């Protein structure tokens, strides 16, 4: 399912959790893993200098310097590389998200793996800054393949994962996400949890929804899940469907926790908008921020069209 995986890393401890998952996946799928680091251009426009992530010094990125960075990356990931069979270390100079997207396009990557932040954040501080690092946000928005975001140590094991939670809002983008989640669940024999939360907060202020109306909404959502997803499963029976009422991101996090989810799969944006104009939907953002397990954001039909 994954022949080529791109692990976009800052080569700093903030990406250690993502690194473990990336190398695990390489072994699991016998894939080629590109461990890719963009040195970055400092804030003063298109300066020829870069800031070294380790020393903080301003450097001029000549070929020798890039070779040195690659050597440093090898040292950083030496333990993981020892077990790896098909990983290549690569570094480039440029604006990180552009270089990552360029690399993904050039190599026809099937999956991008990233950490959610480029630096360690205090939880309190997270609230007042971009929830997701802007590089990650831009990559997730424009990538033509699924992007897996890892923000915490993976307490459950991706390599052996058993529970995939697919959160849907019944948008077209959710259909792409479903295809990917279903294919993945089928390939690894994991249980696929199809989940939808009826957002009751969207009703007009002061209008209370009656219980019968809530039940009606839930019944309709179940029907939609049956029609849109379950009917396309071709006899695959290892699934469960759940519809709850509440705030979508709270409910999906609760549900993933209850089911000991190893992966949450969601559409990149939750409403019917042009993928080119979409930013990371707020539900995905809130889920990425808090989820204990990796979150896969699917943005584009390209890599799922033939599933």
Partner 1 sequence: MNAVTLKKDGAINLNGKTVRSDALEYLSFQIALEKGYTLRSFFKMLDKYTLFAKLNDFFPTYTKQYHSCAEQGCKTGLLDYLEFGKTVEMIGAPDKRLEIYNALFGIHASEATEIKSMQLDSLLDLPLKLGRLKHIVFGDRVDIFEFDTVYTLFELIDGIGWELSFHATPEHCELRR
Under the criterion CB under 8 A, does residue 152 sit at the interface with partner 1? yes
CA distance 189 to 138: 32
Under the criterion CB under 8 A, does residue 66 sit at the interface with partner 1? no
Among 40, 167, 261, 281, binds partner 1 (CB under 8 A): 261
* Contact criterion met (CB below 8 Å) for 38 and 96: yes
* Contact criterion met (CB below 8 Å) for 169 and 271: yes
| Binding window for partner 1 (CB under 8 A); candidates: 18-26, 202-210, 228-236, 259-267 | 259-267
| Binding window for partner 1 (CB under 8 A); candidates: 58-66, 93-101, 130-138, 184-192 | 184-192
Under the criterion CB under 8 A, does residue 14 sit at the interface with partner 1? no
Among 88, 157, 214, 219, binds partner 1 (CB under 8 A): 157
Query: Least CB distance from residue 173 to partner 1, whole Å?
Result: 24
CA distance 172 to 168: 10
CA distance 14 to 153: 10
CA distance 196 to 71: 46
Under the criterion CB under 8 A, does residue 54 sit at the interface with partner 1? no
Residue position matching structure tokens 């009703």: 203
Among 247, 279, 301, 307, binds partner 1 (CB under 8 A): 247
Query: Least CB distance from residue 193 to partner 1, whole Å?
Result: 12
What single DSSP character describes residue 194? E
CA distance 53 to 176: 36
Consecutive H or E run containing 289: helix 282-290
Smaller CB separation from partner 1, 87 or 115: 115
Among 155, 202, 205, 231, binds partner 1 (CB under 8 A): 155
Q: In whole angstroms, how far apart are CA 150 and each of 20, 49, 245, 247, 302?
A: 10, 30, 27, 23, 22
| Binding window for partner 1 (CB under 8 A); candidates: 88-96, 152-160, 209-217, 298-306 | 152-160
Under the criterion CB under 8 A, does residue 160 sit at the interface with partner 1? yes
Under the criterion CB under 8 A, does residue 290 sit at the interface with partner 1? yes
| Contacts of the segment 210-218: beta carbons below 8 A, 24+ positions apart | 214/245, 217/245, 218/243, 218/244, 218/245
CA distance 288 to 110: 20
Under the criterion CB under 8 A, does residue 305 sit at the interface with partner 1? no
Strands 87-92, 239-245: pairing is unpaired
Among 9, 291, 297, 299, binds partner 1 (CB under 8 A): 291
Among 11, 101, 143, 256, binds partner 1 (CB under 8 A): 256
Query: Least CB distance from residue 91 to partner 1, whole Å?
Result: 23
CA distance 27 to 20: 11
**Interaction mask 116-135, partner 1, x per CB under 8 A:** ------xxxx-xxx------
- The residues binding partner 1 (CB under 8 A) are 43, 122-125, 127-129, 152-153, 155-157, 160, 162-163, 189-191, 247, 250, 253-254, 256-257, 260-262, 289-293
């Amino acid at each position: 399912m994954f022949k080529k995986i791109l692990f976009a890393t800052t080569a700093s401890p903030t990406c250690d959790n993502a690194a473990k998952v990336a190398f695990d996946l390489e072994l699991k799928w016998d894939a080629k893993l590109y461990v890719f680091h963009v040195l970055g251009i400092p804030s003063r426009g298109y300066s020829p200098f870069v800031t070294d992530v380790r020393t903080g010094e301003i450097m001029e990125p000549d070929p020798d310097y890039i070779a040195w960075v690659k050597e440093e990356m090898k040292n950083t990931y030496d333990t993981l590389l020892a077990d790896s069979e098909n990983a290549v270390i690569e570094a480039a100079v440029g604006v990180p998200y552009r270089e990552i997207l360029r690399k993904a396009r050039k190599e026809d990557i099937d999956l991008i793996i990233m950490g959610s932040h480029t630096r360690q954040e205090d939880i309190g501080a997270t609230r007042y800054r971009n929830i997701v690092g802007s590089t990650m946000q831009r990559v997730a928005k424009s990538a033509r393949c699924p992007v897996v975001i890892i923000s915490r140590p993976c307490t459950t094991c991706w390599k052996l994962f058993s529970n995939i939670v697919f959160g849907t809002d019944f948008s077209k983008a959710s259909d792409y996400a479903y295809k990917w989640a279903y294919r993945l669940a089928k390939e690894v024999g994991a249980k696929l949890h199809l989940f939808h939360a009826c957002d009751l907060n969207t009703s007009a202020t002061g209008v209370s929804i009656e219980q019968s109306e809530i039940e009606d909404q839930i019944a309709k959502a179940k029907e939609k899940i049956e029609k849109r997803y379950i009917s396309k499963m071709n006899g695959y029976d290892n699934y469960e469907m759940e519809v709850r009422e509440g705030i979508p991101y709270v409910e999906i996090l609760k549900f993933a926790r209850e089911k000991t989810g190893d992966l949450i799969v969601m559409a990149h944006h939750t409403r019917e908008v042009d993928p080119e104009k979409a930013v990371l939907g707020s539900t995905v953002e809130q889920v990425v921020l808090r989820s204990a397990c990796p979150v896969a954001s699917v943005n584009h039909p390209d890599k799922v069209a033939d599933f």
